[in-house]
């Protein structure tokens, strides 16, 4: 019986059967192919607009093939932490990485809550080390962590004693109240005491952050007295140290701010992650690493055990490089008005990728094997490589002998004993590997660690790992692993979407594109094809803007790109079936019709604005005309029920961003085109004139852009700025002149 239990897997993978979904997806593809074939065999209707429509529709059909392929075989993983605890005598160390870059856009109190939730994980404290990367080199962030470390001495024992699930204090105290009838007197007293301590901590940090209380740069903070955000030496500080190696103590807590100099490119988040990897390799060298963004708090305190079930499974876990937990959000605005909560995408697209070679690396909520980050292939795990690597490690990993020694241990599969981990002994070496010139002439960012070259560093890094033959897995325990804050306004959303559109376009055309990884690596065909759903976001923006402009041109110039008669009904059928099908998908997972509509309209708006601008930015970068700018998404600190007190919740606000110029131009062009049609100001048609197809598309687009239409007549931050309207009007007039001049007829 004991042997049978020992043979049971630590995790299971179950493929879901969604036959009806497959049938409808295939029907839509069939109808799209019918439309394309009609264009091919209707050469007598050939015009240049007809050719452009054929090219755009071919791209849309290819995109649907990608989506169908990705959704075809969804899978879920089921983990068994109880089996892991029975089977493993000593749990392995795990290093925890938290990244923050701007104390204004990413308030220190948010970072503090994430760190506190990690320190309180249900895992032996002497096996955990938490590293916080502060790319803003902010004394505010360091001071907040110092104060949080004092509070952690009370918070962590409280969580473990009372089995608290949500271990970020701001979430816990906003969701949990004392029950006078059920809770014991001891618990009430402790709860009130710890809550008062957290309120004091929060108040202290907020006062310093908002400069109500001046921050004195002396003592531990003296090192920040002569620093600038982009010009400072490396700073590595041990804030908490579990010197006794107590399993019920507190984990190590280390602050890291890598060196930055104006003459060195700092490579954004990828550079910060590589520094954390080297510093942690020196100090604790855990075989597994978890990285989270500063706003992703722990929602399931046993998540490390769940992830290790996958990574340590003797049968299926050996070739799993990383375990990805879904990004889910707390206190999201009801019905997702800005389309940034991605609930349906996670359910259908990411689960679909999980059924292939595994999900893409999402940049946060991810458990990694250290030796995979160091460039190891799956087959090298079982081989003895320690002796033959030492001669070449210097040119690959850098000149630090201490770090090379730790890398040899990691690549050879050995780990430090918990009692041997003393981070304070490696401060000098850690500062060396955090210097900005340490990577010069090495493989970092090229073949090792997080890859450089794109502001979306996560996708090429994950692709580079999978091209070596590694797999990845989703981890979706109940309750969910992590929760973060989605952008709560339109401005934050478009910044995030523009950054993704730009970075992913660079990946699409780069040496780590899915196509290259399929042809010259070990990324499986269907898995590589699924990556096109992600990496072609910018291209989707370019093709959809072209199609939108083409429809407006046809209405103004009184020509048509849509077929007449029965074939037109095929196009209408695609539109109707697609919308009913997606609506049913949303309703199936418990989302509302309003949620579905918000996501549909935001899909149109972000594709034709943020992704399109991101595409143009990527083209400038690839052409070496200008480099892309990394814009940080603001993280907002909210409590439960905050939406009811926020007048901006769900409302569209605008500024002078180029994204809104594009959106306003598209709206003005189509309003003008519809007005010309209604007033009969079109020229006489030659052949087929503008018909029902163009009017349906234009009307649908204007309905999707309804928030922009309201913005044209609103004032303040809810209105589109006058300068944006004027610029958009000029572009619209130029387009109108272009259409009436019949240049492309």
Binding positions for UDP-alpha-D-glucose: 106, 135
Grouping H, G, I as helix, E, B as strand and the rest as coil, residue 549 is helix
Q: Is 135 a catalytic residue?
A: yes
Q: Are 338 and 487 in contact (CB under 8 A)?
A: yes
Q: Is 420 a catalytic residue?
A: no
227 Cβ partners below 8 Å, 6+ apart? 137, 233, 235
Q: Compute φ and ψ for 561, nearest 5 degrees.
A: -110, -5
The DSSP symbol for 260 reads B
- Alpha helix stretches (DSSP H) within 284-329: 303-311
729 Cβ partners below 8 Å, 6+ apart? 668
**Which is catalytic among the residues 95, 134, 336, 458?**
458
Among 14, 576, 52, which residue's Cα sits nearest to residue 316?
14
Q: Are 94 and 126 in contact (CB under 8 A)?
A: no
Max CA pair span of the chain: 88
Instruction: Compute the radius of gyration of the chain from its Cα atoms.
Output: 27
The DSSP symbol for 346 reads I
644 Cβ partners below 8 Å, 6+ apart? none
Q: Are 719 and 713 in contact (CB under 8 A)?
A: yes
Residue 726: count other Cβ atoms within 10 Å of its Cβ: 12
Residue 181, exposed/middle/buried by CB under 10 A (0-12, 13-18, 19+)? exposed
Structure tokens at 469: 């033959």
**Which is catalytic among the residues 135, 295, 313, 331?**
135
Among 602, 690, 604, which residue's Cα sits nearest to residue 333?
602
Binding-site positions for Mn(2+) read: 269, 293
Binding-site positions read: 106, 135, 269, 293
Q: Mind giving me the DSSP string for 97-141?
A: EEEE--TTTB-HHHHHHHHHHHHT-SS-GGGEEEEEEETT--HHH
Which residues participate in catalysis according to the annotation?
Answer: 135, 458
């Amino acid at each position: 019986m004991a042997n049978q239990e020992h043979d049971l897997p630590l995790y299971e993978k179950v493929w879901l059967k969604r036959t009806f979904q497959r049938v409808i997806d295939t029907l839509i593809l069939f109808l799209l192919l019918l439309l394309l074939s009609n264009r091919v065999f209707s050469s007598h209707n050939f015009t240049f607009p007809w050719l452009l429509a054929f090219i755009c529709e071919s791209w849309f059909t290819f995109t649907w093939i990608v989506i169908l392929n990705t959704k075809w075989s969804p899978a879920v993983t089921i983990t068994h932490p109880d089996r892991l605890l029975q089977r493993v005598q000593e749990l392995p160390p795990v290093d925890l990485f938290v990244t923050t870059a701007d104390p204004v856009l990413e308030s220190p109190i948010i970072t503090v809550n994430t760190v506190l939730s990690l320190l309180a994980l249900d895992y032996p404290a002497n096996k955990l080390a938490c590293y916080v990367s502060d790319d803003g080199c902010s004394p505010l962030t360091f001071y907040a962590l110092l104060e949080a470390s004092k509070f952690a001495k009370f918070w962590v024992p409280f969580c473990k004693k009372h089995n608290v699930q949500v271990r970020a204090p701001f979430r816990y105290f906003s969701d949990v109240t004392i029950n006078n009838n059920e809770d014991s007197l001891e618990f009430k007293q402790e709860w009130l005491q710890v809550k008062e301590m957290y309120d004091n901590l929060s108040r202290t940090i907020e006062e310093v952050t908002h400069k109500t209380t001046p921050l004195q740069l002396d003592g531990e903070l003296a090192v920040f007295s002569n620093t600038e955000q982009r010009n400072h030496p490396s700073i590595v500080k041990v804030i908490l140290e579990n010197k006794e190696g107590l399993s019920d103590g507190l984990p190590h807590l280390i602050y890291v701010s890598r060196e930055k100099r104006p003459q060195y490119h700092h490579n954004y988040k990828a550079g910060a992650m590589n520094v954390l990897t080297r510093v942690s390799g020196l100090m604790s060298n855990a075989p597994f690493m978890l990285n989270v963004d500063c706003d992703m708090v722990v929602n399931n305190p046993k998540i490390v055990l769940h992830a290790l079930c996958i990574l340590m499974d003797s049968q299926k876990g050996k070739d799993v490089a990383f375990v990805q937990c879904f990004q889910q959000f707390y206190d999201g605005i009801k019905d997702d008005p800005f389309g940034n909560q991605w609930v349906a995408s996670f359910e259908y697209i990411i689960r679909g990728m999980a059924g292939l070679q595994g999900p893409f690396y999402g940049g946060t909520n991810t458990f990694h094997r250290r030796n995979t980050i160091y460039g190891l292939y799956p087959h090298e795990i079982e081989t003895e490589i320690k002796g033959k690597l030492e001669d070449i490690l210097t040119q690959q990993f850098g000149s630090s002998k201490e770090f090379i020694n730790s890398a040899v241990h990691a690549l050879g599969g050995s780990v430090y004993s918990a009692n041997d981990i003393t981070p304070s002994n490696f401060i000098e070496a850690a500062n060396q590997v955090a210097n900005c010139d340490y990577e010069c002439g090495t493989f970092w960012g090229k073949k090792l660690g997080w890859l450089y070259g794109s502001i979306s560093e996560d996708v090429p890094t994950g692709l580079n790992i999978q091209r070596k033959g590694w797999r990845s897995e989703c981890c979706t325990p109940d309750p969910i692993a992590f929760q973060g804050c989605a952008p709560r306004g339109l401005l934050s959303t478009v910044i995030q979407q523009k950054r993704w559109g730009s970075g992913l376009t660079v990946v699409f055309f780069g040496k780590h594109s899915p196509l290259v990884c399929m042809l010259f690596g070990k990324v499986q065909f269907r898995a590589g094809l699924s990556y096109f759903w992600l990496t072609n976001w910018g291209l989707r923006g370019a093709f959809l803007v072209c199609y939108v402009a083409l429809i407006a041109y046809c209405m103004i110039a009184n020509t048509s790109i849509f077929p007449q008669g029965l074939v037109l009904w095929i196009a209408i059928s695609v539109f109707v079936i697609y919308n009913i099908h997606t609506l049913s998908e949303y309703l199936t997972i418990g989302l509302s019709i309003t949620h579905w509509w918000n996501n549909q309209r935001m899909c149109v708006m972000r594709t034709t604005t943020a992704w399109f601008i991101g595409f143009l930015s990527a083209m400038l970068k690839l052409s070496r005309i200008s480099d892309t700018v990394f814009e940080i998404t603001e993280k907002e600190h909210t409590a439960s029920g905050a939406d009811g007190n926020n007048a901006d919740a769900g409302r569209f606000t605008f500024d002078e961003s180029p994204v809104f110029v594009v959106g306003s131009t598209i709206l003005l062009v189509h309003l003008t085109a519809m007005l010309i049609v209604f007033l009969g100001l079109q020229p006489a048609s030659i052949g087929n004139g503008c018909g029902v197809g163009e009017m349906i598309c234009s009307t649908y687009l204007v309905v999707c852009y309804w928030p922009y239409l309201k913005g044209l007549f609103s004032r303040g931050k809810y209105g589109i700025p006058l300068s944006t309207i004027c610029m958009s009007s000029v572009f619209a007039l130029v387009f109108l002149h272009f259409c009436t001049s019949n240049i492309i007829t």
